[in-house]
Structure 1
Amino acid sequence: MGNEEKFKVGIERLKRICGSENELDFCSTSKDVEPFENFIGQERAIKAMDFGLKMEATGYNIFVAGAQGTGKSTYTESTVKQAAKGKPVPMDWCYIYNFNDRDNPMSVSLPAGKGKVFKKDMEALVSELKILIPRAFEGSDYRQQRDRIIQSVRKKLVDMLHEVEKEANDEGFMLQQLPGRVLFLPVKNGQPIQQEEYEKYSIDERKKIEEKMHQLQKKMNETMRYGQNLEKQGNGQIVELEKKIAYAAAEVPVNRLKEKYGDFPKILEYLEGVLKDVVENHRIFKTPGHSGGVEYTFQQQGHQEAQEEGGIVDENGFYFEDEESRFTRYSVNLFVNNERLSGAPVIIESSPNYYNLFGKIEYKSHMMSMTTDFTMVKSGALQRANGGYLILQAKDLLMDPFVWDALKKALKYREAIVENMGEQYRLIPTTTLRPQPIPLDVKILLIGTPIFYAIFSSDEDFEKLFKIKVDFDIEMPRHNENVCQYVSFVSTLCREGNLKHFDKLALARIVEYGSRLAADQNKLSTRFNDIKDIVYEASAFAAMDDSEFVDSKHVKKAIDERKYRLNKLEEKIHEEIIKGRIRIETTGREVGQINGLSVIGLSGYSFGIPMRITARTYMGRGGVIHIERETGMSGSIHTKGVYTLVGYLGGTFAKKKPFGLTAQITFEQNYQGVEGDSASSAELYAILSSLSGVPIKQNIAVTGSVDQRGKIQPIGGAVEKIEGFFDICNSKGLTGDQGVMIPDENIEDLMLKDELLDAVAEGKFNIYAVKTIEEGIFLLTDTEAGKEDDDGAYPEGTIFEKVAKRLIESYENRKEIENDKKDNGGTEGKEEEKNI
């Protein structure tokens, strides 16, 4: 035991107790502390965010990177909303009908709130025109002028018909009208000649009659064609008259709007188009069924066909589903309405698929085809965030294959375009629109873990578009100011969630839990989601006990219960070890066998378990053979650790003679593979034990990586590894000499659980710290490693002397065997040397 004492770590260094350094002298409960309004422990991120939000230049979008639970999303949302309050409210955007190209709707901008007013003004204009235009056509002046045109046309038609009829009478024919045609019948004594009498005529007489009839028919056809032209001219005159009347009726209300929107040239141009279109299509404002023209034969026929299909076709051949839809062209699509904003918009899009982000063009189904118009152009998060901020989760952005490229395009050209994806793949033809793009001025904030930052960084455009990285740390220094902020955070949660407040010992537990999460006595974790969960659950347990305050036992219960909900696998493995199905020795000594330690992480929970590492050495030139590597079960970092220990062995024992042995190592009963180099020192101890024949204590588990000079380097998961071996020893029965050997540099990482600390205090369990392989092998074997003298020899009885002696014997035996084979004339195949 004497050898072990100098490597023992004192209990006061195994956990930094909160309150022992006056850390909580400023309060007695969380109720005494004011809520903390700022963000805790992220000075670097706060400065980067502040700079990024103030930069107005192109490309200064922001990527907020940090581990889960650090509060990066909450901070981003609150900070951006605060910054947005000081910025002006952006313009409203509307889409209006393009009278020059109906498939290319025009975009217009208006001050916030004016878009809705403009929309209502156009609705009022249409309603007014529906009254004014029919009323204008009810006036006597219009009817007199229309009747004059009609009477003039009809008189000319009648005169022409009379002229033809007179000529027919003079030639001995009478005119008979039938449906759709006019016949000329020969007469005799004022009566039509009957067929029997007509057949008695000679051929010449009948021929003359038919020639005259043909001439009369030809003249009648010419007269009918001329009459149709007269009708068209009359219709044209009536149309021009109606346009003049419609213009007079529509000019005043349209001019009234032009005066109101005189500061918006695009709207003035649009209103000119409205006036012109109203005049051209004035009939849609008239009373249904009122034609007013001479005949309107063709128009009536077209409308009749459309009515049979359940719709309307206007004078331009455009189809409308009902009467009201004919006025759609005069509607205003209020695309983005910012009337309710008091600053710049902040849009948080939780589902950034293509259409949610960039908008879409909706369709209606009609007669096996899809139709649309400019009123069915819908905005997306990008357009609603224009002039402000758009917050997206990086992970969600990668779920839709079209989104990232479209977002880059929008940021690069600073335009928000609405276009549907995959139009070319539709089986049913659709009407397509090309809405005018909207100028884009938006700052994008992507939130994600460092892994997603690395993924996006592989895109050459990413750094040009996202020049600001707001990097959230997972830990912060544990000093009095940050401890005070931690308590303030708890106070805030208690007030906002109507929770029970925490007493001083409970607050100390929370601070200690923060250091445990950070895996550092001098740090506090910034994974505030984890802290928040413990605060809420501890408060719940206090409520169950009807306690006034949350005390230390409630926090401990919350932590223990949280572990219990997640550690089923850990318990299963422990059960297998206790039953002996997984062999782990915690007493005695074994040659070439050692208890290493590993960490398993699953579903947000990590735990440590011991793993039996064995080494066998024998004659050969294979060097160090690692079974996991040979079978493809080890990762690259673990392989690097094995290479490193080979460097130590070669540099220590093969300076003058080759390493003439094969050493084979493995993790026994391991079927999942290994990664990491934290077991490299344990593997080296097992090899040294096998070479020297000196047994290793099985009551001490080992963790730590090694460099090529034999220095022990720190590793991760020290707390989990120590507690994992302790739990096994505790279940099997503590003997007082059991413990864990860790790198000296890992001591500051220790925040061990109370049960283990109690065992250390009672002398039932121990923590040892070493700095070199030499110290470690001495602790594990009670035998000095040995220091090389000037002649390259080691003191007798030391570990290294035994190893060197074994290697020399192996080398000489092999050399003797090779010489015997040569003397006997034998040949020996060249053995491939493996140097892993």
Structure 2
Amino acid sequence: MNKYAVAPEALRKVCDPHKELHFCHTTEDAPAFEGVIGQDRAVRSMNFGLQMKVPGYNIFVVGPHGTGKTTYAEAVVAAVAQKGTPPLDWCYLYNFADKDRPRILSLPAGKGRDFQKEMSNFSADLPRIIAQAFENSQYEKERDDIIHRLQEKLDALSGHLKTEAQRAGFIMKPIPPRFVFFPVKDGAQLPQEEYEKLTEEEKRELDEKGRRLTKLLDESMKESQHLEEAGKEEMQKLESQIVQAALLPPMERLRSRYKEEPGILEHLEEVLKDVTSHYKNFLPKPPQPNAPASPFEEEAPDPAMKYQVNLFVHNGSCPGSPVVVESNPTYYNLFGKLEYKSHFLTMSTDFTMIRPGALHKANGGFLILQARDLLRDVYAWETLKKALKYRKAVVENIGEEYRLVPSGTLRPEPMPLDLKVILVADPEVYSFLFSLDEDMQRLFKVRVDFDVDMPRTPENLRKYVAFVSALCKKDGLLPFERSALARLVEHGSRLAGDQRKLSTRFNKVAELIYESSALAEAAGETLVRGKQVEDAVQERKGREDILEERIREEILRRTIIINTEGEEVGQINGLSVLSTGGYSFGMPSRITARTFVGTEGIINIERETRMSGSIHTKGVLTLSGYLGGKFAQKSPLGLTAQITFEQSYGGVEGDSASSAELYAILSSLAGVPIKQSLAVTGSVDQRGDIQPIGGATEKIEGFFAICKARGLTGEQGVIIPHQNVENLMLKEEILEAVRQGKFTIYAVKQIEEGLEILTGIPAGILGPEGTYPQGTVFQRVADQLDQFSAVLTNRKHPEEESHDGK
């Protein structure tokens, strides 16, 4: 066996159900696990964040999709909230001092609903209370007394005026709009012709008396107006007293009920004053003559609307602190809005149409949001930051801020905020906000990180089984037998990409549990066994691997040229991982290198055609450092080498093919063929050390599938970095092929080790005299590079040759 070959037992960490899962026979024997598995750091951080009551310690839960971060956040917050106390109710009230600035009022939880009902009943009773007050006989008597006294005073004024007119020899006649005085003679009005016969002296005397009477009339008219105004004031005072007396019993009931609430007592005083001033609005209206109604006629406003209560947030039924999970965090869903009534071409609103958002409903508790959804609304994120920064929630329609012509609208008093916001996001969103928005750092000081894997320890194995048990009992699935649990554990390590760990992406594990149970049930089983788990894995793969099959088909038909036997100079099989729709698979790629005389060094064709990513470009440039360090210590590296991924029509990224590219260049320089039955993955540094890469399991399985389809020869295999052995969770069929000697996995540490496997020739060790042993790969490379240098040295400019000849 080759010394670099990996033993079959190291290619997959098998879970022995009898040794590692001895604590249960089926999931029926295992206790259901409550909580989050394998996220100790996240649990500590979340507990810390929930305990902090200082502003700014809002929580940002970060983790990849499927780690259970949202479910955990909702569960732990709900548990903490149950121990809290219900927060205050919040009401909006009419502002009698400024109707466009509704007042906000807080009440103990549950009292808001009572206050709303009582004020609604009070408003509805106003017409009856006021009408009954004016039907009182005492009111009628006092009203009649006022009218009688006023009439007596007016009659006295009129009588005095008539008496003065008689004394002066005049009579007073009403000629609208006022009274006129006429002289009399023998008890009758002096005729005009008689007046003309009077002397000038008599006429002047009559005119003077008339002017005095007119002046007296003016004075009497002013006095009568004063008397009427005084009578009206007395009548209004009487009516106000009557209204106040009628409102006193219901008001006293309200005052007594809310004597501990100064805000309500103040509001009730304002209500009483307003009703007393506008009581006529509640009296029956006199019948109006029938007239056709205009479609544009505005509806008469409800006079009792001002006394209603807008119960903005009701927490009477809340068992503890509120927890609001807003799945659609748009601006209006978060911050509320002002609703409007439309009447033909006009829009109107009032304080009763102020509607709360999730921020208001969560006040006093917790608000859970998905950060990615929040950022989709242009205004939501900025408004949320302002609300948290100033600890106030303002209700305003965002459109009002961007009107070209400002329009009148309500400006409700802001609600004071005291809540904790929990944002849930993937790491990319968190990094984006953290780097670009400094407010986020001040407002969300607690980061709760969810990891994608956890150690594969006996304790965590118990938790894994407990998770399966909880899911089976919760959703009525068939119990899982030990062998099935063992396969689930192995699948968890495969998802984690590490034999020492288990995946914490429990959504993926749960999907396999559901599908395995369904297959077992369809087969008439009473337990889920290992076979059903394996079948479920294959079924899922069969639903998702269409692209993998198409590429493999093209390879087998040699439309895409991949050799799995024979030898070629400067050509090697590299390995890469492709992903589509969440499904990842490995595929080989043919890498070729051509070397010749020149000084341009290594030319990466993908880079020249802008098909190379920055990491791949870095990996290729690293190769120059290796070659220079090995072969250019005494003379310049006179080399031009072109490398490329053949038949690659998309971008190339990553440095996992850098070792394969170096092998191809060395093969081309040495003229030594590379075994095409092998594929290579691994990056390399400038010193020739092989470095680990990702997706080792998928890459091996991808190349194995090609070899198996063409027929396993025993020569085929894959070379991987030695560090990646612990990442392998290969299929059982590959392990069996390795056991039978039909396929080999090699693990190497240095380029020299891989070169020896690929060529069958030792790479060579530099001797004391600075040369490599004859017959080694490096000796052939050094000789070739010396020839390249000699060619470059001997190629002189014609002028230089002529000068030398002289």
Query: TM-score w.r.t. structure 2 length?
Result: 0.91
- Please identify, of 589-598 and 405-414, the stretch whose mean Cα deviation from structure 2 is larger: 405-414
From 653, 658, 673, the counterpart of 1:675? 653
Q: Is the 8 A contact 1:371 1:430 kept in 2?
A: no
* 8 Å Cα contact 2:17-2:486 kept in structure 1: no
Q: Distance in 1 between matches of 2:334 and 2:386?
A: 13
Q: Which of 277, 282, 287 pairs up with 2:284?
A: 287
Q: Deviations over 1:608-649 (max 9, x none)?
A: 111111111111110111011112111111111112221111
SS in 2 for 1:501: coil
Displacement, 1:306? 11
Residues 414-453 of structure 1 aligned to structure 2 (within 5 Å): 414-426=391-403, 430-453=407-430
**Structure 1: how far apart are the matches of 2:294 and 2:408?**
19
Q: 1:82 maps to which residue?
A: 79
Equivalent-residue separation in structure 2 for 1:449 and 1:824 (angstroms): 71
Residue 299 (structure 2) aligns with: 311
**2:617 matches 1:639:** yes
1:330 and 2:307 aligned: yes
Residue by residue over 1:163-183, the C-alpha shift from the partner in whole angstroms, topping out at 9 and shown as x without a partner, is 9999999999996878xx689
Cα distance change on mapping 1:582 and 1:161 into 2, 3 Å = farther
Aligned-partner Cα distance in 2 for 1:352–1:416 = 15
Report the equivalent of 1:617: 595
Q: What does residue 537 of structure 1 align with?
A: 515
CA distances 1:61-84 after superposition (whole Å, capped 9, x unpaired): 111111100011111111111111
For 1:82, the aligned partner's letter is: A
CA contact (8 A) 1:251 1:275 kept: no
Q: Distance in 2 between matches of 1:56 and 1:217?
A: 84
Change over 3 Å in CA distance of 1:177–1:538 after alignment to 2: farther
1:523 aligned residue = 501
Cα separation, partners in 2 of 1:761 and 1:41, compared to 1, 3 Å: same
User: Deviation string for 1:565-591 (max 9, x for gaps)?
Assistant: 222222221122122221111111111
Give the one of 528, 534, 545 matched to 1:567.
545
The answer to whether the aligner puts 1:57 opposite 2:54 as a matched pair is yes
User: Residue 831 of structure 1 corresponds to which residue in structure 2?
Assistant: none
Alpha-carbon separation, structure 2, partners of 1:612 and 1:223: 120
Partner of 1:294: none
Residue 759 (structure 2) pairs with residue 781 (structure 1): yes
Structure 2 residue ranges without an equivalent (≥5): none
Q: How far apart are the structure 1 equivalents of 2:130 and 2:317?
A: 37
In 2, Cα distance between the equivalents of 1:227 and 1:616? 122
3-state SS of the aligned residue for 1:326?
Answer: coil
User: Among residues 382, 397, 419, which one is paired with 2:374 in the alignment?
Assistant: 397
- The Cα of 1:778 is off from its aligned counterpart by 0.5
Per the alignment, residue 793 of structure 2 pairs with: 815
2:774 pairs with one of 787, 796, 821: 796
1:101 to 98, 103, 114: 98
1:16–1:307 CA distance, 2 compared to 1 (3 A): closer
2:726 corresponds to 1:748: yes
| CA–CA separation in structure 2 for the residues paired with 1:813 and 1:761 | 51
Secondary structure of 1:31 counterpart: coil
Amino acid at match of 1:235: K
Residue 484 of structure 1: how far off its partner (Å): 1.4
Alignment match, 1:409: 386
Say whether 1:691 aligns with 2:669. Answer: yes
- For residues 337-395 of structure 1, the C-alpha deviation after alignment (integer angstroms, 9 at most, x for no partner) is 11112211111111111111112222222453322211111111111111111111111
Residue 112 of structure 2 aligns with which residue?
115
**One-letter amino acid of the counterpart of residue 746, structure 1:** N
SS of match in other structure, 2:304: helix
Q: Which residue in 2 is equivalent to 1:368?
A: 345
Secondary structure in 1 matching 2:479: coil
What's the C-alpha RMSD, in Å, of the aligned pairs?
3.4
2:456–2:500 Cα contact (<8 Å) kept: yes
Whichever residue aligns with residue 71 of structure 1, its letter is G
How far off is 1:156 after superposition? 6.5
Aligned twin of 2:715: 737
Q: Tell me the equivalent position of 2:629.
A: 651
Alignment partner for residue 270 of structure 1, among 242, 262, 267?
267
State the 1:105 CA deviation.
Answer: 1.7
Following the alignment from structure 1 to structure 2, what is the Cα–Cα distance between the partners of residues 789 and 226?
A: 135
Q: Does the CA contact (< 8 Å) of 1:119 and 1:331 recur in 2?
A: yes
Once residues 368 and 379 of structure 2 are traced to their aligned partners in structure 1, the CA distance between those partners, rounded to angstroms, is 18
Contact 2:171 2:189 in 1 (8 A): no
C-alpha contact 2:60 2:424 (8 A) present in aligned 1: yes
8 Å contact from structure 1 (residues 174, 187) kept in 2: no
- Supply the distance in 2 between the matched residues of 1:173 and 1:734 (Cα, whole angstroms): 141
Q: Check the 8 A contact 1:370/1:430 in 2, yes or no.
A: no
Deviation at 1:736, TM superposition (A): 2.0
Match of 1:45 among 42, 45, 67: 42
1:300-337 Cα distance to aligned partner (Å, 9 max, x none) = 99xx999992433xxxxxxx1xxxx2211111111111
Structure-2 residue corresponding to 1:481: 459
For 1:636 and 1:193, locate their aligned partners in 2 and report how far apart those are by CA, in whole Å. 123
* Aligned counterparts of 2:566 and 2:316: Cα–Cα separation in 1: 80
Q: CA deviation at 1:87?
A: 1.6
C-alpha deviations, 1:238-290, integer Å up to 9, x for none?
22221121112223321332222222221221111111112111223333339
The more displaced of 474-483 and 811-820 is 811-820
Bigger Cα displacement from structure 2, 211-220 vs 338-347: 211-220
Amino acid at match of 2:787: E
Q: Hey, what's the Cα distance between the residues in 2 that align with 1:76 and 1:478? A: 24
Conserved 8 A contact 2:259-2:265: yes
Identify the range of structure 1 (325-334 vs 162-171) with the bigger mean alpha-carbon deviation.
Answer: 162-171
- 2 CA distance for matches of 1:260 and 1:307? 45
Q: What are the superposed Cα offsets for residues 672-703 of structure 1, whole Å, 9 maximum, x if unpaired? A: 11111100000100110111111111110100
1:448 partner amino acid: A
Measure, in 2, the Cα distance between the counterparts of 1:689 and 1:52. 59
Q: 1:729 to 1:231 in 2, by over 3 A?
A: farther
Segments of 5+ residues of structure 1 without an aligned counterpart are 291-299, 313-319, 827-836
3-state DSSP of counterpart to 2:563: coil
Structure 1 position 219, deviation (Å)? 10
What is the distance in 1 between the residues matched to 2:751 and 2:155?
126
1:250/1:278 contact within 8 Å kept: no
**Which residue of structure 2 aligns with residue 293 of structure 1?**
none
Shift of 1:116: 1.0
The aligned length equals 792
CA change 1:623–1:161 in 2 (3 A) is farther
Identical columns (%): 53
When structure 1 is superposed on structure 2, of 277-286 and 221-230 the one drifting more is 221-230
Secondary structure of residue in 2 paired with 1:422: helix
**In the alignment, does 2:490 pair up with 1:512?**
yes
Task: Specify which of 678, 684, 688 is matched with residue 706 of structure 1.
Answer: 684
* Distance in 1 between residues matched to 2:190 and 2:615, nearest whole Å: 119
**Which residue identity lines up with residue 367 of structure 2 in the other structure?**
L
Aligned to 2:354: 377
Give, as a single letter, the amino acid of the residue that structure 1 aligns with 2:763.
Answer: A
